[in-house]
């Protein structure tokens, strides 16, 4: 091959190589340069929200601590009791500090039973119909008893049975005598009430005509808390009827029924 042909061949190769290089540079995508990892920037991006959360939490926590630190007895609003409530509380505290226990144990006794009913209304109706003798209504074991005459010995029993028969009542048909148990009284009361109740020693024995004045005075001296007690009123009424009918056959019934009401009054004190 001569020099001229060799030069043309070489020139042709250079042109082909140049054309291929130009196409490769167009068709081949350029690779993006790799970015270097910036540690400082990443750390800052991480620390910013953390620091913000810490600061915000500190402010919130300080506010909560300040709020609860103010919740002392002087800072908490409290409704003040009225003067009337304060006076009542003072009275109750005084009674509690000066209170005393009252105890009373009843002797064994019997009563005259006139009837037994399922309701108080029925007992009241029968009591009004049987107006020839005094009576008292007592609820016991979910039944209502119509009774009279507290009997503390056999002599009283014989006397009272005769008084009922003298009024036309038949024993074991219209009335009967039965033992009656009373609950022991053990009650915390105020000092004034306790002093008044201590004068009930006379109630352990049968009432007599000589006791009339002192018993009526004792009832009249009842503390205000029992001023309207129905049992005391009934006892006072029976004592008055005894005085009016001292010579009648049923005078003893009035006297012993008055004592029965006084015992029932004491028993109810212990139950209430």
Question: What's residue 102's pLDDT?
Answer: 93
Question: Which pTM value belongs to this model?
Answer: 0.65
Domain that residue 132 falls in: 101-271
Question: What's residue 80's pLDDT?
Answer: 61
What pLDDT, in 10s, does the model give residues 211-222? 999 999 999 999
Question: What's residue 248's pLDDT?
Answer: 85
Please provide residue 160's backbone torsions phi and psi, each rounded to the nearest 5 degrees: -75, -40
Is 16 inside any structural domain? Answer: no
> Domain of 224: which CATH number?
3.30.70.1070
Is 23 inside any structural domain? Answer: no
Is 94 inside any structural domain? Answer: no
What pLDDT, in 10s, does the model give residues 99-135? 689 999 999 999 999 999 999 999 999 999 998 899 9
Residue 66 has pLDDT above 60, yes or no: no
pLDDT band at 240 (very low <50, low <70, confident <90, very high): very high
Is 50 inside any structural domain? Answer: no
Is 231 inside any structural domain? Answer: yes
Distance CA 238, CA 251 (A): 9
Distance CA 148, CA 256 (A): 8
How would you label 118-156 residue by residue, b for 16+ Cβ within 10 Å and e otherwise?
A: eeeeebeebbeebeebbbbbbeeeeebbbbbbbbbeeeb
Looking at the 3D structure of the chain, how many domains does it have?
1
- 168 torsion bin: left (phi>0), alpha (psi -120 to 50), beta (else): left
pLDDT band at 236 (very low <50, low <70, confident <90, very high): very high
Distance CA 257, CA 238 (A): 7
Distance CA 46, CA 69 (A): 35
Is 70 inside any structural domain? Answer: no
For the beta carbon of residue 219, count every other beta carbon within 10 angstroms.
18
């Amino acid at each position: 091959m001569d020099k001229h042909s060799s030069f043309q061949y070489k020139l042709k190769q250079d042109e082909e190589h140049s054309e291929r290089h130009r196409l490769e540079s167009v068709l081949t995508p350029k690779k993006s340069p790799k970015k270097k990892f910036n540690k400082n920037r990443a750390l800052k991006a991480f620390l910013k929200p953390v620091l913000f959360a810490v600061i915000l939490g500190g402010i919130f926590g300080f506010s909560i601590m300040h709020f609860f630190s103010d919740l002392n007895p002087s800072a908490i609003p409290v409704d003040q009791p009225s003067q009337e409530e304060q006076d009542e509380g003072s009275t109750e505290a005084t009674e509690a500090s000066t209170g005393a226990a009252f105890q009373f144990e009843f002797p064994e006794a019997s009563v005259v039973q006139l009837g037994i009913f399922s309701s108080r209304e029925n007992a009241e109706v029968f009591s009004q119909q049987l107006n020839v003798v005094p009576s008292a209504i007592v609820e016991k074991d979910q039944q209502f008893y119509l009774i009279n005459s507290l009997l503390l010995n056999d002599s009283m029993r014989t006397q009272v049975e005769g008084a009922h028969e003298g009024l036309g009542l038949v024993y074991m048909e219209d009335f009967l005598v039965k033992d009656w148990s009373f609950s022991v009284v053990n009650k915390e009361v105020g000092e004034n009430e306790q002093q008044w109740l201590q004068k009930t020693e006379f109630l352990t024995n049968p009432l007599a005509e000589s006791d009339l004045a002192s018993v009526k005075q004792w009832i009249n001296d009842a503390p205000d808390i029992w001023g309207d007690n129905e049992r005391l009123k009934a006892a006072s009424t029976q004592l008055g009827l005894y005085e009016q009918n001292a010579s009648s056959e049923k005078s003893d019934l009035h006297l012993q029924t008055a004592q029965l009401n006084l015992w029932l009054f004491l028993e109810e004190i212990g139950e209430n």
